[in-house]
Structure 1
């Protein structure tokens, strides 16, 4: 038991507040741990009260105008929108004005004979077959698929036939019912038929009956009723006169009720210059629809490459008359130039007239395939294979040219421009002056351009036996790039550059030119 005196003494030595020594202090509510603050500190610290949230509400008009810069901003925005639409309308009006006022070619409506390819043949040709008319009837859909639009039937009438009756055909070429059947089948296949009266003595050279003209007109009406699309005569025939052609025109007009059924008169030009009808050029253009001209002159032997080049260049440099031309080869040339002349005919202004070609004859191709499969003993199989490849290439070339001509406006009625240019033999540069030939001894390289608007077709013809490259400076105004349309070997595909192009011997090429980055 302790004594009170000892307790008081101990109390005096140990103070109750020991906060300064780091222990013995107990913080209570309201106490801060310091002297005199332990009894005022709360035991739990309350969480801070959340701040008052701002409730969203739309701006007033005054606040919106103040934020947008004031009332003037609305006027500025309306002014800018007005300027935008006015500028857009001005651009649109300018574009329309440029399109309307810019010069562009006007397409002249073409008649059916100006758009089609003529095919000239005799129904009794050995290549057609022993049955003659029947074999030809079977080939009509095939000929139409090649792009042929009209047939010119030759040799149906005797040269010395009676002028009183031209409805009587040569029996060896087919009877009248067979000819009528051919006309019916041709119309079904979409092929026009023109009867050739060239050098047929329609009006007689001796005593003429008084009603001869009426008899001939009745015969013309007979064939027109059978569906004949027209008649062909020579410029040396008695029918080639203003008086007779006026009578024929009156008969043809009676059967030309529709545009696609219009009947025509074709004149084969056998002389260097077509004789004028009483020196009346206007009557000449109205009385004659088509003038068939030969590219090559008649010759007893095939013409050389230089002679062919000279004849072609003469026609290219000669401005033709207003009458619609129909080009045919006419004279004879070497076999190497056959495809080149075909390309030339199909790309010249006018309607091409192709003479019968056994390479595109369906009967010949069929017989060749049969012979190749059976393996004839007389000829090796390689020979038959080469012939078959050549025929297929000829058909492909003909089809490519005819279809390109049918769908391309530039080849139908585009302008024609002859292009003299420099060439280089074997792709070496040439220093020749501005002339068509690279040197006096080199073969002629001919070229011309068919243009319609911004579309250009370039036709290049190499009639010589050597490889030729084009001089880069030959035509600086032409686009450099182009795409192959057709070629004699049918081995040119895709795009090309004129500066790297090489013409093979006896090769013709058709190229569609376009500007860089354009594919029109």
Structure 2
């Protein structure tokens, strides 16, 4: 090789060529090898998508999920059983009121009336007892359950023949028809024998030689009327029949006609301050008591409030009571006394009221009731409005009493007021103090009915600290003015003059 010249092929010398990875180092290979090594291409991007139904079923069928579901189901049922056991324990351990099984006279609303009030001839030609028969469906619709028929028998001819009614009241078939129509409509009938002596002895004290057995006349008379469907008899505590011996004999006659659905009763009208006791108290079923004392004149508000408070504070529990007004009070207190009778424990005995008489078309009759003075405002329109309000109040009270256990057989709690804290600013220092608000509570379980009575002529506001244990709110059930609706708070309630209010109390956030 000539000096100074480099051979063209220097492959053998180990230099002059660049071998790529994996190449043999040949000329062809060196010429085709890339000068730069390319990077790996990025993987394609996959977007997240929810699992399909088939994929979910495959995933949920795994052993882990099955075990988790079994634990959750077991935990649910254990919790449910534990809650059920706790609820049963609370119910069993909680004090519960015992339901009282009431008999028909304990659930009934009595209506006292005299058939001679229906003697005036009507426009359709009917009169007397026939006119009363036509009103029976209407009387039943008011919620009345029993009639006490007064004045049917002649009191001037002892010994009395109980099958002979007063001639002025109609014939015996008419009275029988009245009893039959009443029973057909679901109305019980009680015949009033008060001040009538069926034994022929006018005074118990003078009756020292009384026959040992009841007279045949009385036996036949009782049986006769019981066969007609009469539900019982009413006597006075001053009558000769009010004795243990007579009542035992009456009970013997009753047994022939009694049945579980048709039990006959004895009603005693209490005319004395204290009812004469009987050795056997079961001989009397109902004691009819007057709220007001008898008086020839209208009683002032103070005496009415005193009489009401006396009965609220001292009540006898031995015999089932029934309440009637009895004495005379001003017409503006009539509705208040009605609310009182319908909410007291016992059976109300409402006396006949013209405003409840369907026959009386007050838009054409402007005559006033006894003791009520004619005023220029007593127009036919005003009288019609008063009648509608009276019927609405009566119906509201009778329906509330029929469906609420608290008003039927609930407990009774008298709630005294601090009279000095209730007087309104409208009363002057020289005027006599206004009667305080009278109040009581009827309770059954967790249901409470508050009855408020403002007998006085002045408005009264309730003292917020009057009864701290009572719920603070309630809903109006009814009121004498039929103008109280919705819910109310006791601390903001103001009683109007001569007003009575019935409120169903409830705890905060509860309307039960």
In structure 2, relative to structure 1, the CA distance for the partners of 1:192 and 1:64 (3 Å cut) is closer
- Residue of structure 1 equivalent to 2:450: 458
What is the deviation of 1:77? Answer: 6.9
Deviates more, 1:328-337 or 1:80-89: 80-89
Question: 1:148 aligns to what SS in structure 2?
Answer: coil
Question: 2:184 aligns to what SS in structure 1?
Answer: helix
1:149 and 2:145 equivalent?
yes
Give the Cα–Cα distance (whole angstroms) in 1 for the partners of residues 239 and 246 of structure 2.
Answer: 11
Question: 1:482 aligns to what SS in structure 2?
Answer: strand
Gaps of 5+ in 1: 1-34, 42-47, 373-377, 431-438
1:405 and 2:401 equivalent?
yes
Q: Which has the larger radius of gyration?
A: 1
1:313 and 2:318 equivalent?
no
Correspondent of 2:332 among 323, 332, 336? 336
Give the Cα–Cα distance (whole angstroms) in 1 for the partners of residues 494 and 393 of structure 2.
Answer: 20
Correspondent of 2:496 among 490, 498, 504? 504
Give the Cα–Cα distance (whole angstroms) in 2 for the partners of residues 460 and 193 of structure 1.
Answer: 33
Number of matched pairs: 448
1:159 and 2:155 equivalent?
yes
**Contact 2:450/2:503 (8 A) holds in 1:** yes
**Contact 1:192/1:228 (8 A) holds in 2:** yes
1:263 and 2:264 equivalent?
yes
What is the deviation of 1:442? Answer: 2.9
- Residue of structure 1 equivalent to 2:345: 349
Give the Cα–Cα distance (whole angstroms) in 1 for the partners of residues 252 and 285 of structure 2.
Answer: 14
Correspondent of 1:230 among 225, 228, 232? 232
Give the Cα–Cα distance (whole angstroms) in 2 for the partners of residues 487 and 352 of structure 1.
Answer: 17
1:274 and 2:275 equivalent?
yes
- Residue of structure 1 equivalent to 2:37: none
What is the deviation of 1:148? Answer: 0.6
**Contact 1:149/1:190 (8 A) holds in 2:** yes
- Residue of structure 2 equivalent to 1:18: none
More helix by share: 1
- Residue of structure 2 equivalent to 1:449: 441
In structure 2, relative to structure 1, the CA distance for the partners of 1:152 and 1:129 (3 Å cut) is farther
What is the deviation of 1:176? Answer: 0.4
Give the Cα–Cα distance (whole angstroms) in 1 for the partners of residues 309 and 57 of structure 2.
Answer: 87
1:289 and 2:285 equivalent?
yes
- Residue of structure 1 equivalent to 2:22: none
Question: 1:306 aligns to what SS in structure 2?
Answer: helix
1:368 and 2:368 equivalent?
no
In structure 2, relative to structure 1, the CA distance for the partners of 1:422 and 1:166 (3 Å cut) is same
1:133 and 2:129 equivalent?
yes
In structure 2, relative to structure 1, the CA distance for the partners of 1:497 and 1:128 (3 Å cut) is farther
What is the deviation of 1:163? Answer: 2.4
In structure 2, relative to structure 1, the CA distance for the partners of 1:57 and 1:392 (3 Å cut) is closer
Question: 1:363 aligns to what SS in structure 2?
Answer: coil
What is the deviation of 1:87? Answer: 3.0
- Residue of structure 1 equivalent to 2:12: none
What is the deviation of 1:302? Answer: 1.2
In structure 2, relative to structure 1, the CA distance for the partners of 1:174 and 1:209 (3 Å cut) is farther
Correspondent of 1:108 among 100, 103, 116? 100
Correspondent of 1:516 among 499, 508, 512? 508
What is the deviation of 1:428? Answer: 6.5
In structure 2, relative to structure 1, the CA distance for the partners of 1:147 and 1:128 (3 Å cut) is farther
Question: 1:179 aligns to what SS in structure 2?
Answer: helix
Give the Cα–Cα distance (whole angstroms) in 1 for the partners of residues 120 and 82 of structure 2.
Answer: 67
TM superposition score normalised by structure 2: 0.80
Question: 1:240 aligns to what SS in structure 2?
Answer: coil
**Contact 1:294/1:328 (8 A) holds in 2:** yes
What is the deviation of 1:64? Answer: 5.9
Question: 1:332 aligns to what SS in structure 2?
Answer: coil
In structure 2, relative to structure 1, the CA distance for the partners of 1:371 and 1:330 (3 Å cut) is closer
Give the Cα–Cα distance (whole angstroms) in 2 for the partners of residues 223 and 129 of structure 1.
Answer: 28
1:94 and 2:86 equivalent?
yes
**Contact 2:393/2:478 (8 A) holds in 1:** yes
What is the deviation of 1:211? Answer: 6.7
Question: 1:254 aligns to what SS in structure 2?
Answer: coil
Give the Cα–Cα distance (whole angstroms) in 2 for the partners of residues 293 and 380 of structure 1.
Answer: 36
What is the deviation of 1:296? Answer: 0.5
Give the Cα–Cα distance (whole angstroms) in 1 for the partners of residues 479 and 322 of structure 2.
Answer: 22
What is the deviation of 1:160? Answer: 2.1
1:121 and 2:113 equivalent?
yes
**Contact 1:428/1:469 (8 A) holds in 2:** no
Give the RMSD, CA atoms, in angstroms.
3.4
Give the Cα–Cα distance (whole angstroms) in 1 for the partners of residues 140 and 284 of structure 2.
Answer: 26
Give the Cα–Cα distance (whole angstroms) in 2 for the partners of residues 330 and 58 of structure 1.
Answer: 83
Give the Cα–Cα distance (whole angstroms) in 2 for the partners of residues 465 and 476 of structure 1.
Answer: 27
